Chain A
Amino acid sequence: MFRNLLFPALASLAFVSCENRSDVEIANEENILIIGNSNEPKGLDPHLVSGVLESNIIRALFEGLCVEDPAKDSTSLPGAALTWAPSDDFTEWIFNLNPEAKWSDGVPVTAVDFVFSYKRLLSPDPNWPAEYSEMLYFLKNGEAYNRSHFGHILCGNDPDFPLDWETLKKANFEGERSLKLENFVGKKFSDLKEIDLKKLKPYLKEDETIDLAKITAEKVDLKNLSETEKRIFCNAKGIDKLSKEQLQSLKSDSSLVTWTDVVPEEVRQIVLDRLIGHHEAGKPNLWEEAQVGVTAVDDFTLKITLRGPVPFLPEITKHYTWYPVPKHIVLRYGKINTAFSSQWTRPGNLVSNGPFKLKTWRTNHFLEVEKNPHYWDRDQVDLNGIRYLPIKNYYTETRMFGDGQLHMTYTVPSELIPMAKKKYPDQLRQEPYVGVRFIRVNTRKEPLNNPNFRRALATSIDQKAICEKILLGGQKPASGIVPPFGEYKVPGLIQFDPEKARALLKESGYSTDSKFSEIKLLTTNSESGLREAEALQEMWKQQLGIKVRIVQREWTTYLQKQYDADYDLCVAGWIGDYLDPTTFLEMWVADGGNNNTGWGSKEFENLLTKAENTADVAARMDVLSQAEKTILADTPVLPIYWYTTNYLIRPEVKNWNPLLLNNHPFKFVKIEK
């Protein structure tokens, strides 16, 4: 059995290569950069990924309207667009595309590609699983199109409509926020808890009960429901989400849904007729009617209209969600929104417009890109290629760096930082990175629903000790949820202050002896996650005498528990997508997908809306700073520290400078010989 296996095995053992040069030495000669990239990329479709490691590859392959400056933050260089100019109020931008810009197959990159890309990312089809479409909500009507807000599209966009949208939108188009039918699935009315009953109360007559199974069924026929059930169903769904039949029933009694008094009956009928007409026509999408703020004026002129003033738009176009995808290639391998089954990103098929094109992609082995010969600025590109290694084990990665197998590591584990400081003093880089580590607080639960209690927890975290004794990576204690950068003034409300923490605890009416159910701290099953959680646990015990139990769950369960609000406290992090405080603030709107704390504040949201409509940069920053103050005063999140990046880089790699977003433009990187 073994004889026929033995020979090839021995032969291959004997045939050990005698290459004495290290990988980096060979790569230097070939002018190829080798970098550690943490893991196997989930995909290369810029519209379907959300991770940092994927963005590192996509940034080499594709290019947005503007490109990062290799050394300066908040600076934009020409990319696919040669020049750009905003209108006076920053709501309209004209991008003049570079006529020389080509896809890697030689086809020119046109404004049509951009319109196609934005239409693709915003596809309202529920089968389109893009996680990052809200990055395009900056576009006028982008959100309305993506979320199928029929009322807004069919009535609000029509200049001849008898009622202006500002008035009309007060009607319940999008559904009652607090009234989610999902929460009632499979429940009986008699078993409902106080918190759920409260939401239904305004609709119920005294002692009235309803059949929850009826309103949560897959297909609801309004005719079979009681008056109250109809009202609850229609208001929970909102006019936009009702089916054709349900809208028709609504026509006979429009008062089943909340319109407010300012919408007269005849306007209601017109709205319903338009929606019914749309459903009857069976139109698959509303792109034309939605008038999303992106138009190709001609092949090389792109006009972008925004929902409000965005003075920092060039900054945003550097994010990969704003990159173009090749219309001709995407459509060759599927429809506009064919998601994972499309083969257009596989090696051999993928065509890109950036400085590099895809050469090899072997699962869990390596991914290599090579210089794109059709790239408009090819003379600037010095590297012949980049090899990304999916090194999951960061200890191995550091050893590989030491052995001359990598130009650059993805990170350095905190345990190895003291060693790296000694062994590689000139190669170790520790740079600020716009990200924040914080603790989500489930404000629905006692005693965490008490702001003073939350504040007490926040001010008893010795952030400095966590940064300097555990992390060792130069992280900074976080006084808020927005890390410091540019012109933004950090309100700096949260500081370690055990005296104050104890006073706050007293104020909250709770004490160490109070009876409340044990507080659990949710974290991931990583080694570093545990160390951090243990430190927090000890700090709260020491400063406040509050005992907290650590619950570790692996990644997907950890995430799911947060979405299900099945936690008390949860350690989490957030990394900025672009250099503006809104990237850290917008997630905290009530019912925001990433809020998960149950916290919400009208004042906070009004300030965000105010900022959205403020064109003056300084004034806008002030408003945002105020918004952050509002959230910190209520403390549904406990900030811990602001991120840094720690990595090792070889001295021959040039033009790799500290950048707050850590999005380094590969086209400027050089290997010095």
Chain B
Amino acid sequence: MLKIILSRVIQTIVVVFVLVTFVFFAVRAIPGNPFASDKATSAEEEAALKAYYGLDKPLPVQYVNYWKNILVDGDFGDSLAMKGRKVSTLISESFPVSLKLGVISLILGMLIGIPLGIVAALFHNRWQDYLAMVVAMAGICVVAFVLGPIFQISIAAPLDWFNVAGWSRTSDIILPSITLCFGVAAYLARLTRGGMLDVLSQDYIRTAHAKGVPTLQIIVKHAIRPALMPAVTFLGPAFAAIITGSFVVETIFLVPGMGQYFVLGIQSKDYNLVLGLVLFYGILMGIANLLSDIALIFMDPKLRTA
């Protein structure tokens, strides 16, 4: 167990290092200038700005400095787009918002998706199955920027105690989390159905049926745990993705989360912000994968000896 965790941690470190290195050079290669503004900047001013943010030095030096600042001072640099603000402040302010929204959407997604998948598998190739899969397909296809406005117009506007958008009332979290949960629910439904079908055709299930165990008991006691394994594998990365926010949902519902920084960072060539996010996201992804691996080990005894 400890070995698995350790090897996962090392893997994550290597992956994050490679990722940051790649992004560091890639983001500087895209055209555009972080200091371009609608008012002209003189050559001297631009040079001074570059010097202030250390962008005047050769790329390898900048790269070494970037790591040095992080490892020695714990400094992820200043945001170039939102001047005067640190990347770490931007992330630490917005991450709790995205985390809260993400966790609620993920739970909603599981509550909808997993039962839907189980029902579909139990009624394999019957109308319940088709209906569930149509719903799941729709959840994957209908994207947030369609779903969000639909909710705003048809739910929030007619109901007095719902705001169309914002982040000040307790009820403000409901619509964005429903919008976000659909994608997760849809994937989970399909994965659970697949896993369930696979398990239901196994010999030990047939044996249980033959012994006269009630169907409900077979499902709850014997089938669900192995059937959920594909879903749990998916949940790891999905968790990391959903708690880091979504640009679309945040701009539609005016949520002060961190998803919008991914887009802002690239659009405004905010190198430090992009790198900070990549680093943060990479580490989160590593942790989430590790957690889902551990969960799988608990679920499947075969993996413990492997």
Which A residues are closer than 8 A to B by beta carbons? 1-2, 5-6, 9-10, 12-13, 15-20, 22-23, 40, 42-43, 48, 50, 125-129, 131-132, 182, 339-342, 345, 362-366, 389-393, 395-396, 399-400, 402-403, 405, 553-557, 559-560, 563, 592-594, 596
> Of B44, B107, B168, B251, which is within 8 A of A393 by CB?
B251
Q: Does B128 contact A (CB under 8 A)?
A: no
State in angstroms the CA–CA spacing of A619 and B81 once bound together: 44
Which partner residue on chain B sits nearest A180 by CB separation? B43
> Of B51, B82, B152, B251, which is within 8 A of A392 by CB?
B251
> Of A18, A127, A563, which is within 8 A of B52 by CB?
A127
Q: Does B125 contact A (CB under 8 A)?
A: no
B40 and A396 contacting across the interface, CB-CB below 8 Å: no
A400 and B161 contacting across the interface, CB-CB below 8 Å: no
Q: How far is the CB of B101 from chain A (nearest CB, A)?
A: 10
State in angstroms the CA–CA spacing of A15 and B104 once bound together: 13
> Of A129, A341, A363, A400, which is within 8 A of B164 by CB?
A400
> Of B33, B165, B170, which is within 8 A of A399 by CB?
B165
| B residues 251-268 in Cβ contact with A at 8 Å | 251-254, 256-257, 260, 267-268
A364-B94, A364-B260, A391-B254 are known contacts. Are A132 and B39 too (CB-CB below 8 A)? yes
State in angstroms the CA–CA spacing of A363 and B51 once bound together: 27
> Of A6, A363, A403, A594, which is within 8 A of B39 by CB?
A594
State in angstroms the CA–CA spacing of A555 and B173 once bound together: 32
A556 and B269 contacting across the interface, CB-CB below 8 Å: yes
Q: Does B291 contact A (CB under 8 A)?
A: yes
Q: A129-B49, A366-B168 are in contact. List 7 more A-B contacts (CB 8 A).
A: A6-B107, A15-B170, A16-B170, A19-B161, A129-B45, A405-B165, A554-B32
State in angstroms the CA–CA spacing of A560 and B268 once bound together: 12
A363 and B107 contacting across the interface, CB-CB below 8 Å: no
A396 and B45 contacting across the interface, CB-CB below 8 Å: no
Q: Does B83 contact A (CB under 8 A)?
A: yes
A362 and B164 contacting across the interface, CB-CB below 8 Å: no
State in angstroms the CA–CA spacing of A23 and B267 once bound together: 33
A20-B160, A563-B36 are known contacts. Are A131 and B41 too (CB-CB below 8 A)? yes
Q: Does B74 contact A (CB under 8 A)?
A: no
Q: How far is the CB of A608 from chain B (nearest CB, A)?
A: 18
| B residues 81-138 in Cβ contact with A at 8 Å | 81-85, 90, 93-94, 100, 103-104, 107, 110
For A399, what are the chain B residues with a Cβ–Cβ distance below 8 Å? 149, 152-153, 156-157, 164-165
B163 and A43 contacting across the interface, CB-CB below 8 Å: no
Which partner residue on chain B sits nearest A10 by CB separation? B107
State in angstroms the CA–CA spacing of A540 and B108 once bound together: 54
What 9 A-B pairs have minimum CB-CB distances, sorted nearest first?
Answer: A593-B40, A365-B256, A126-B48, A340-B84, A559-B36, A557-B32, A364-B256, A556-B32, A340-B83
> Of A363, A395, A396, which is within 8 A of B94 by CB?
A363
B166 and A17 contacting across the interface, CB-CB below 8 Å: no
Q: Does B22 contact A (CB under 8 A)?
A: no
A20-B161, A43-B84 are known contacts. Are A559 and B152 too (CB-CB below 8 A)? no
Q: How far is the CB of B235 from chain A (nearest CB, A)?
A: 9
For A362, what are the chain B residues with a Cβ–Cβ distance below 8 Å? 93, 256
State in angstroms the CA–CA spacing of A124 and B189 once bound together: 64
Q: Does B25 contact A (CB under 8 A)?
A: no
Q: Does B302 contact A (CB under 8 A)?
A: no
B40 and A563 contacting across the interface, CB-CB below 8 Å: yes
A9-B104, A556-B268, A560-B36 are known contacts. Are A17 and B169 too (CB-CB below 8 A)? yes
- A15, A339, A592: most-surrounded residue (chain B CB, <10 A): A339
A389 and B160 contacting across the interface, CB-CB below 8 Å: no
State in angstroms the CA–CA spacing of A10 and B253 once bound together: 21
